[in-house]
Amino acid sequence: MALLKMWSIPPLAALLLLSIVPTGSKVVDSMSECAEFLLNETPPNVPGILEGGNILDQNRYKPICQTFHGIKRYVTLYDTKNKIPVFSASKYIGTNSTRPKNIWKIEPQLEDIHGNENMRKDGKGKTYNKQAGNSDYTNHYTKRGFDRGHLFPCSYASTADDKKSTFTLTNIVPQNGFFNKGSWNKMEICIKCVLDEYCINNNKIKEGFLVIGAQPGNNIISNKVNVPSMLWSAFCCYSHSENRWLASAHWGPNINKTDKYLQIKTLAELHSELSTVSSAFEVFPGITMSSPHNCH
């Protein structure tokens, strides 16, 4: 048996070491604590949920700095009643790794589970009070044709650990399998091409901002998890080569539909689609321009 060699650490060195040890999970009180993933550090305005940067019902809606191995990867606003995310948002910087093995995780802080890592593997058959568990999807995965549909896509994440972080059930909605693998997947590929080719700023750095969300529907699986009626996606970036800002939006009903491309929309059209009589939806508040980029 190998013996472990004991080292003494001077007090100052020990203090410095503690300062770089990865922190734990990041279920936070405000979207501002994950602002680095938002364009102009400003969250979307979602009527009745998130207005003027303020979460209207803090008991129900929880902002999560999606953290893996002590590093924040992207941000999600999670609905603990419908047990699906309202949206996930991130900064796109390119990707250089392959898709990892699907190991689904839960957010222990939502359930007051203590631990030093914010994403834990979801054991089979476990149920949770404030979020969906893996078994909620397993029971309906093949019988009713629902996929575990990513909001922030694994394919958009940069490193291997970034990609692994997307396999948390707080970033997932029940998505019609045909829609997920068909027109939605084509849209994601299309937008990624635009991000890679055009979203390079004046410092020659690849940078684009994305927000992907879900509208709750009237269907429920496992007697608790809401099936969204539609999914929507938007991006915005500055393009040095085009010398202008680029932005576009897509959305589609979460149903078994044709395998065609989703129509490219402007931000203004998305805002009109999701606004209410009493409150305006804005995916990138303060950004009113919209230049849809056709990549088909």
| pLDDT recorded at residue 234 | 97
Q: Are 89 and 157 in contact (CB under 8 A)?
A: no
Q: Which residues contact 186 (CB under 8 A, 6 or more apart)?
A: 259, 261, 262
User: Which structural domain, as residue segments, surrounds residue 267?
Assistant: 23-274
| pLDDT recorded at residue 291 | 52
Is 209 domain-assigned? yes
| pLDDT recorded at residue 96 | 81
64 sits in which H/E element: strand 61-68
| pLDDT recorded at residue 2 | 36
Distance of CA 115 to the CA centre of its chain: 22
Is 16 domain-assigned? no
- Give how many domains the chain has, as a whole number: 1
Of the candidates 288, 180, 181, 157, the residue with the CA atom closest to the CA atom of residue 231: 180
Is 7 domain-assigned? no
Is 109 domain-assigned? yes
Is 243 domain-assigned? yes
| pLDDT recorded at residue 4 | 31
CATH code for position 78: 3.40.570.10
Is 15 domain-assigned? no
| pLDDT recorded at residue 25 | 43
Is 3 domain-assigned? no
* Residue type at 248 in one-letter notation: S
Distance of CA 30 to the CA centre of its chain: 16
Question: What are 252's strand-pairing partners?
Answer: 231
Q: Which residues contact 65 (CB under 8 A, 6 or more apart)?
A: 26, 27, 28, 33, 34, 72, 75
Residue-by-residue pLDDT tens, the chain, 296 positions: 333 332 333 433 333 333 333 333 478 889 999 999 999 999 999 999 999 999 999 999 999 999 999 999 999 999 999 999 999 999 999 988 778 777 889 898 898 765 445 566 776 667 788 999 888 887 665 557 889 999 999 999 999 999 999 999 999 999 999 999 999 999 999 999 999 999 999 999 999 999 999 999 999 998 899 999 999 999 999 999 999 999 999 999 999 876 778 999 999 999 999 999 999 999 999 876 545 554 43
Distance of CA 214 to the CA centre of its chain: 11
Q: Are 164 and 174 in contact (CB under 8 A)?
A: no
Judged by DSSP in three states, 89 sits in: strand
In this structure, how many other beta carbons lie within 10 angstroms of the beta carbon of residue 17? 10
Is 56 domain-assigned? yes
Rounded CA separation 236/199 (Å): 9
Which pLDDT tens digit goes with each residue over 26-35? 788 899 999 9
